[in-house]
Amino acid sequence: MRWLKFTAAGRTYWGIVEGECVITVDGDPFGEWQRGTQSHALRDVKIELALRPKSVLRIRTGAGAGSR
């Protein structure tokens, strides 16, 4: 099963990809969900980021010039 977060007709949904279509889902992949009633052609949807980080960490490796 392949999950996809997408936008179609101005709304953002979670869905399940089936062949060349994506079926809307009521709920999300992290909790309870049910298969929805709408489907959209995969070529007609905008694929969204599945998760948006609440914070971004910068990791620095090595001892480059100017490091202390």
Look at residue 63 in the predicted model and tell me its pLDDT: 65
- Eight-state DSSP code of residue 33: E
Look at residue 51 in the predicted model and tell me its pLDDT: 74
Extents of the domains making up the chain:
2-47
Inter-CA distances, 52 with 30, 42, 49, 56, Å:
14, 22, 7, 10
Tens digits of pLDDT across the chain (68 residues): 999 999 999 999 999 999 999 999 999 888 999 999 999 999 999 999 877 666 777 787 776 666 55
Q: What is the pTM of this model?
A: 0.70
10-17: long-range contacts, CB 8 A cutoff, minimum separation 24? 12/48, 13/38, 15/40, 17/42
Which CATH superfamily groups domain 2-47?
Answer: FAH (2.30.30.370)
